[in-house]
Amino acid sequence: MSTTSAPAQAPGAPLAQGLDLLGDQWALLILQSVFLRIRRYNDLRARLGVADAVLAARLRGLVEAGVLAQEPYQDERRMRHEYMLTPRGLDLWQLLVAMWAWERRWIPGRDGDLPALRHLGCGATVPELACGRCGERVSATDTAVERPPDVPIAAAMPARRFRRQGWERVASDPMLFYPQTMEILGDRWATGILVAAFLAARRFADFQRELSIGPSVLTERLRRLIDLGVLATAPSTDRSGASEYRLTPKGRAFFPVFALLVAWASTHLDGEPGVRILHPACGHEFAPGLRCDRCGQALDRREVRFEL
């Protein structure tokens, strides 16, 4: 994956908004629950074990972003509301499936914990990233990124993050809790480091410049991502003796999550275009989608089922 320059990305650009909205573990957990048809406030609170203030704030943010909509219903006492996915919210199904696929493939033991995904067309599938224009399978190395010059990634990073207190109930439900995915997306610096790595940052100084991050925090996060097997150190290619931080196969396999997030934000959120992913093989901006690895058919959310 190579990089070129594009017009500068403002802090309010689509990627910034997408990371602010979805780079939060509670927001992702709420979305997973609503996709599983858990739509009422009390049911969400009971399933997630989340504090009222946190749940109310995240629901409000998802409604304001047009991802969820409130629909009235009558219980035995009074009129209440449940939360329904909007068309914008339904378009996040591929992102959640990509998270599931990465956890199931790369985290030991998760292939037994997480349910299989069945493609109604051919019977079974492991979804793979494909180009929505030419239909070909795509990996990170098949793409190029057009990015804003001289704008640090920190400008596109969310300030709000998940707090781990009280997540024991979530962690006991393997369908809800994707520990390594959410550790990456749910930590502001881990998210930024991974985005920077996909944008070709390699050295400690590169990450500092991109993220405006203190050296001690950067050292700790890089060490954690190495422990997770997402990054690995290697000698510099320019004989300087400095170490470089490179994506491992496990780290590169996270690319579908990144690509789908960029595409969703660019499609659904307002602002001037920022980071763009290109697919040189077909000569267009990359339109990521998921296809069935068995039959090659593009996957539609109405044609796949988790075997719960």
pLDDT tens, residue by residue, 26-41: 888 899 899 989 999 9
CB 33 within 8 A of CB 83: no
Within a domain: 75: no
Q: Is residue 160 included in any domain, yes or no?
A: yes
Give the pairing of strands 243-247 and 231-235. Answer: antiparallel
**DSSP β-bridge partners for residue 145:** 3, 277
Instruction: Quote the pTM value.
Output: 0.85
CATH number assigned to the domain comprising residue 217 = 1.10.10.10
Taking only the tens place, the pLDDT of each residue in 83-138 is 999 999 999 999 999 998 998 899 888 888 788 889 998 887 789 999 999 999 99
* Helix 25-35 × helix 52-64 angle, to 10°: 70
Answer whether residue 26 is part of any domain.
Answer: no
pLDDT value at 236 more than 60: yes
- Quick check: 196 and 139 in contact, CB under 8 A? no
Mean pLDDT of 15-35: 85
Do 105 and 253 touch, CB atoms closer than 8 A? yes
Nearest to residue 13, comparing CAs of 300, 262, 299? 262
Please tell me the predicted confidence (pLDDT) of residue 281: 94
- Closest by Cα among 251, 261, 259, 253 to 285: 259
What are the DSSP E strand ranges found in the chain?
2-5, 68-74, 79-85, 117-119, 127-131, 144-147, 231-235, 243-247, 276-279, 284-285, 288-292, 304-306
Q: For residue 72, is pLDDT > 50? A: yes
Could you tell me if residue 294 is inside a domain?
A: yes
Residue 79 has pLDDT above 80, yes or no: yes
The two structure tokens encoding residue 202: 């390699």
**Containing domain of residue 148, as a range?**
2-13+92-306
Strands 79-85 and 117-119: unpaired
Give percent of the chain with pLDDT exceeding 90. Answer: 47
Q: Give, in order, the Cα–Cα distances in Å from 3 to each of 197, 216, 232, 246.
A: 11, 28, 21, 16
Is residue 66 a part of any domain in this protein? no
Per-residue pLDDT tens over the stretch 61-70: 999 999 999 9
* Structural domain includes residue 142: yes
Residue 73 lies inside a defined structural domain of this protein: no
- Answer whether residue 194 is part of any domain: yes
What residues are paired with 73 via a beta bridge? Answer: 80
Mean of the per-residue pLDDT values of the chain: 84
Residue 23 confidence (pLDDT) above 80:
no
**Does 176 have pLDDT greater than 80?**
no
Total count of domains within the chain: 1
H/E stretch holding 110 reads helix 110-113
